[in-house]
Amino acid sequence: MQSKRKDRDEPIYEIFEDKKVIKFLDKHFNDIDLKNRIEEKYYGLAVNPYKEAQNSFKSKKCPKCKKTRMGNYRIIYFINESRKEIEIIDIGLRKNIYKKWD
């Protein structure tokens, strides 16, 4: 029996969420579309976080962090290559996230 999903790469990295991210997700609990988009983005990050990364993110607070776009939202994350882990540090609207992480 074949799965309904297309053949997809297996996730390599494990994803962990910071308290700020959990608070964001709780706040947007009823937004099913946003939650689905976040889930898809998490999957892409778990497969290849470098492919999803945008090069233009520069932060004094977290110089090794990366960002990825998701519509008007941005996901800030850190890759721990030795443990094959990704820590999702923050999710927020584009207009707010860069002020927080400058």
The one-digit pLDDT tens for each residue of the chain (102 residues) are 444 455 578 889 999 999 999 999 999 999 999 999 999 999 999 999 998 887 767 888 888 899 999 989 999 999 999 999 999 999 999 989 888 887
Which residues are within 8 A (CB) of 23 and not within 5 positions of it... i.e. 6 or more apart?
A: none
CA dist., res. 59 & res. 63, Å (int): 5
CA 39 to chain centre: 9
Sign of CA pseudo-dihedral 24, 29, 35, 39: positive
Domains, in order of start, for the chain: 14-100 (3.30.2310.20)
Do the Cβ atoms of 78 and 96 come closer than 8 Å?
Answer: no
pTM of the model: 0.85
